[in-house]
Amino acid sequence: MRITGAVLERCGAPAPYVESRPVTVGTLELGPPEAGEVLVRIEAAGLCHSDLSVVDGNRVRPVPMLLGHEAAGIVEVAGPGARLAVGQRVVMTFLPRCGQCAECATDGRLPCSVGSAANGAGTLVGGGRRLSRAAPSGAAPSGAAPSGEVQDVHHHLGVSAFASHAVVSETSVVPVDDDVPPDIAALLGCAVLTGGGAVVNAGRPAPGDRVAVVGLGGVGMAALLVAVALGHEVIGVDAVPAKLELARELGAATAVGPQEAAEQGLRAPVVVEAAGSARAFETAYGITAPGGTTVTVGLPHPDARASISPLSLTAEARTVVGSYLGSAVPSRDIPRYVELWRAGRLPLDRLVSDRITLDDLPAALDRLASGAALRQLVTF
């Protein structure tokens, strides 16, 4: 079928993206779902830092690639053997879980190796791509098809949701009930799964433990919301004053800049770093209490290096833990967040800073890069 989607033409284009225009919106051909796959009509898709990381070249992926990995939609066609029914609302998650590999047996601690390999290759977990288009004219990347020929387009993290429709593996989605609106459902798939999981699955604070979050973007603010919902005293740390104000509104007991956090000697037994920079990691480590755990979920540039004192690790019996996708098992964790949301304890609508269309993506990428945006939702 014919779909409309936003395709990243090249990695590493310079900002501002409203000028360099690395993302183009156009018509693509979407193949039918194969065994164990479903065709989903996208209702809402969030713009996440992991999209920006591919655009700015921090995470180099094969192009052309149809971006977008945090989304919700309705199943319109079920492929052969698929268990999901037509009409079912689903949350997309950005790491398919094959359920068969050794990593899938680690209760979320390790990312599925089969899903990770497919994500790296820009294919679906079942192999291959369902997206293609007529190669655009003009300066094509080396190795791309000549203008006018049919060209495969890569999937982004098994989802590719910046489009009217997507074909995804059933292992990339989790069903939710109809009372969960699309905006909320979309956020569950990345921001909440990653941020909430960093707290619950990786940090594992004891009841009453203080929790600090460094970096209050979509993922960090979701971590803060989940920690507040679970009754923890929360410290929010960010350099942007407007984000500190929102953190206080959302229930943070304290919200300060990184410098103030150090000067005031703030400490917490569980600290989540969600900014994706080496300096944020150092800040997070610096405010972790003796015996405490520093959880890092950010994705800094591969060349980034942080400096910490190995002596403090030993002498203060500290733990540093990396967490991908919030060490989550999506089918287990998403229903828990839905319950918190239904109980009125997870005001996820507060994470949505803008509603945009596919054509607004370049400006939205600029807002995200500037630190001004939380979650900007593409709606259709």
Q: Which residues bind Zn ion (CB under 5 A)?
A: 48, 50, 70, 98, 101, 104, 112, 114, 190
112 vs 334, beta carbon nearer Zn ion: 112
DSSP-based three-state secondary structure for 167: strand
Cβ 149 to Zn ion shortest distance, Å: 32
Cβ 46 to Zn ion shortest distance, Å: 7
Angle, to 10 degrees, between the axis of helix 241-249 and the axis of helix 218-229? Answer: 20
126 vs 292, beta carbon nearer Zn ion: 126
Cβ 116 to Zn ion shortest distance, Å: 8
How far is it, in rounded angstroms, from Cα 200 to Cα 222?
A: 12
Cβ 291 to Zn ion shortest distance, Å: 31
98 vs 372, beta carbon nearer Zn ion: 98
11 vs 48, beta carbon nearer Zn ion: 48
Cβ 207 to Zn ion shortest distance, Å: 29
Cis check for the bond before 16: say yes or no (omega within 30 of 0): yes
How many other β-carbons are positioned within 10 Å of the β-carbon of residue 357? 12
Q: Measuring CA to CA, how many Å separate 119 from each of 5, 27, 46, 65?
A: 19, 23, 18, 11
Start-to-end CA distance of the chain, whole Å, equals 17
* Residues in CB range of 182: below 8 A, 6 or more apart: 43, 44, 72, 73, 89, 379
Residue 165, Cβ density class (10 Å: 0-12 exposed, 13-18 middle, ≥19 buried): buried
Cis check for the bond before 182: say yes or no (omega within 30 of 0): no
219 vs 268, beta carbon nearer Zn ion: 219
Cβ 342 to Zn ion shortest distance, Å: 23
71 vs 114, beta carbon nearer Zn ion: 114
